[in-house]
């Protein structure tokens, strides 16, 4: 009997549903005048509760056949607890389509939503009020199956009013499955402001954290194409990058790689193929970035750097602070970054450690960059034939070899350096060639290429042993003057002129 009852009950419910649908349809046709204001009130109330915001709208038009449809103009959502900041969301116009079935179920489902002139403003550093205390997110009232919002602008408002907002212009944006209790899948294309270029991204965003939008989760993959580095004065090149990210808006973990086949530092004037792979933590609400680490490859050299890119209180722009190390690189690769000559003035292996600071400003990066560090060059040989010949001759003479062919001598270098405002200062700089050790302090201008060094040459043999004949006899009288610290001779020298035309001489009075 139960089975028979169930068989007869089903058709009855079907008939009842058809009758109910017919009645609803008749009501819609005959009572649109009183139904529309109720629906408008319910729509705005649902939006207000879902996004914890006060709602303003210029106009909202509804139609019910052949399916529910809403068109709105001038929609504004303002966070209830922060009336003094720009609205969370503004949009010029929207169109929403739904089905009757989608509206009758809970949460109510909007089939598609098209937004025009959407702007989203996320404020940083706002105090947490009682209504924002941790707890379970409210039950969703609306779910958007598809959202299309081309031409969206996202602005992250800084804590300090004297700083501009962090702005992202999103050319194309589509989202599916958007609801306050679930992540939505997105596809976006946006133009990066600096360096300018196109970013294509896809991933998941949400669920939206109405208590604190900065804690909203985000994941995805990106591709950054054709970024013009010339916007940073002093360097140039076209950069492409791809990678992936995850986290929340104020703490996004990013990993990826970049490729710049035509990287150039203007002061050096050489095109280099620069490749990097990196991992970083990015605060998406202000752009501050922790690098840990970045591996940069160019030529036969790899630089490993870690540090941060961050803003300073009261300063417009961001400061780059890096700790960079080269374990076993090619000195010619490094010199191509800052020296115009080709081939570079020296070959050999280099190891260095440096702290780098690039403050914000309008000048060229090489002029603003500051470096402090130590370096060591092994097996260095100058590519300038005249300079190499001078050093080789000095090596021969300081070992007491006064006759025969001159053999090329390699040199080992080490010392400390400071680079500031385009001027390289060397301290405790020393290089060793067979027969002599040279110690120098002084400066080198990256742009002017002017040399100004003073120091000493300590030799294995005495002055009189570096020559023959009458000169040797005369120099024996001054050997005791220059013989110091158990060396054969310690000679004060000065190196001036330019990199291409150096001048060597005795440093009198020093």
The predicted model scores a pTM of: 0.73
Mean pLDDT lowest for which of 9-13, 48-52, 71-75, 477-481?
9-13
Q: What are 151-181's pLDDT values in tens digits?
A: 998 887 776 666 677 778 888 999 887 666 6
- Asked if residue 346 lies in contact with residue 366, where contact means CB atoms within 8 angstroms, the answer is no
Whole-number Å distance between alpha carbons of 249 and 263: 31
Q: Domains of the chain: which residue ranges?
A: 384-506
Specify the pLDDT at position 61.
86
Of all residues in the chain, the percent with pLDDT exceeding 90 is: 27
Q: Among 218, 223, 275, which residue's Cα sits nearest to residue 250?
A: 218
Specify the pLDDT at position 22.
44
Burial of residue 268, with CB atoms counted within 10 A of its CB: 0-12 exposed, 13-18 middle, 19 or more buried = buried
Mean pLDDT lowest for which of 10-19, 306-315, 346-355?
10-19
Phi-psi region of 442 (alpha: psi -120 to 50; beta: other; left: phi over 0): left
3-class DSSP state for residue 428?
strand
Mean pLDDT lowest for which of 140-154, 219-233, 403-417?
403-417
Q: How big is the chain, counted in residues?
A: 510
Q: Among 444, 268, 260, which residue's Cα sits nearest to residue 341?
A: 268
Specify the pLDDT at position 454.
92
Pairing of strands 370-382, 411-420: antiparallel
Which residues lie across from 197 on neighbouring strands?
A: 192
Q: What are 314-356's pLDDT values in tens digits?
A: 677 788 899 999 999 999 998 888 887 788 888 899 999 999 9
Residue 204 phi/psi, 5-degree rounding, is -125, 140
Q: How confident is the model at residue 126 (pLDDT cuts 50, 70, 90)?
A: low
pLDDT tops 80 at residue 507: no
Whole-number Å distance between alpha carbons of 9 and 64: 32
Specify the pLDDT at position 2.
38
């Amino acid at each position: 009997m139960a089975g028979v009852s169930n068989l007869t009950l089903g058709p009855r419910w079907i008939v009842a549903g058809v009758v109910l649908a017919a009645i609803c349809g008749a009501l819609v046709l005959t009572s649109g005048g009183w139904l529309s204001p109720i629906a408008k009130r319910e729509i705005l109330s649902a939006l207000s509760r879902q996004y914890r915001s006060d709602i303003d709208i210029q106009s909202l038009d509804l139609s019910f056949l052949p399916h529910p449809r809403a068109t709105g103009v001038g929609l504004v959502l303002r966070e209830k607890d922060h009336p003094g900041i720009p609205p969370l969301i503004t949009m010029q116009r929207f169109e929403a389509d739904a089905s009757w079935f989608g509206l009758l179920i809970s949460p109510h489902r909007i089939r598609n939503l098209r937004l025009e002139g959407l702007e989203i403003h996320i404020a940083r550093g706002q105090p947490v009020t009682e209504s924002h205390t941790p707890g379970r997110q409210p039950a969703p009232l609306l779910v958007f199956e598809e959202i299309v919002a081309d031409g969206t602008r996202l602005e992250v408002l800084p804590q300090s009013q004297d700083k501009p907002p962090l702005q992202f212009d999103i050319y194309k944006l589509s989202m599916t499955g958007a609801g306050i209790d679930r992540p939505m899948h997105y596809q976006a294309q946006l133009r990066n402001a600096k360096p300018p270029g196109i970013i294509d991204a896809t991933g998941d965003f949400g669920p939206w954290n109405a208590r604190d939008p900065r804690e909203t989760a985000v994941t995805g993959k990106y591709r950054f194409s054709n970024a013009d580095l010339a916007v940073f004065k002093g360097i140039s090149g076209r950069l492409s990058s791809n990678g992936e990210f995850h986290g929340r808006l104020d703490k996004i973990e990013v990993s990826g790689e970049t490729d710049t086949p035509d990287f150039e530092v203007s002061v050096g004037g050489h095109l280099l193929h620069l490749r990097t792979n990196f991992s970083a933590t990015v605060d998406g609400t202000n752009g501050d970035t922790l690098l840990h680490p970045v591996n940069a490859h160019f030529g036969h050299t790899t630089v490993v750097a870690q540090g941060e890119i961050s803003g300073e209180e009261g300063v417009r722009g961001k400061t780059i602070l890096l700790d960079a190390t080269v374990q076993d690189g090619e000195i010619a690769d490094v010199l191509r970054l800052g020296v115009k000559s080709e081939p570079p003035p020296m070959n050999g292996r280099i190891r260095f450690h440096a702290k780098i600071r690039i403050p914000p400003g309008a000048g060229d990066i090489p002029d603003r960059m500051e470096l402090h560090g130590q370096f060591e060059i092994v097996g260095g040989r100058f590519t300038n034939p005249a300079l190499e010949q001078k050093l080789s001759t000095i090596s021969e003479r300081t070992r007491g070899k006064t006759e025969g062919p001159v053999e090329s001598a390699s040199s080992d270098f080490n010392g400390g350096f400071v680079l500031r405002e385009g001027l390289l200062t060397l301290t405790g700089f020393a290089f060793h060639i067979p027969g002599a050790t040279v110690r120098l302090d002084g400066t080198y201008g990256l742009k002017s290429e002017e040399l100004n060094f003073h120091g000493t040459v300590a030799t294995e043999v005495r002055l009189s042993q570096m020559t023959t004949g009458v000169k040797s006899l005369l120099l024996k009288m001054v050997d005791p003057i220059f013989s110091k610290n158990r060396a054969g001779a310690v000679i004060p020298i000065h190196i001036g002129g330019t990199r291409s035309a150096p001048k060597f001489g005795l440093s009198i009075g020093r």
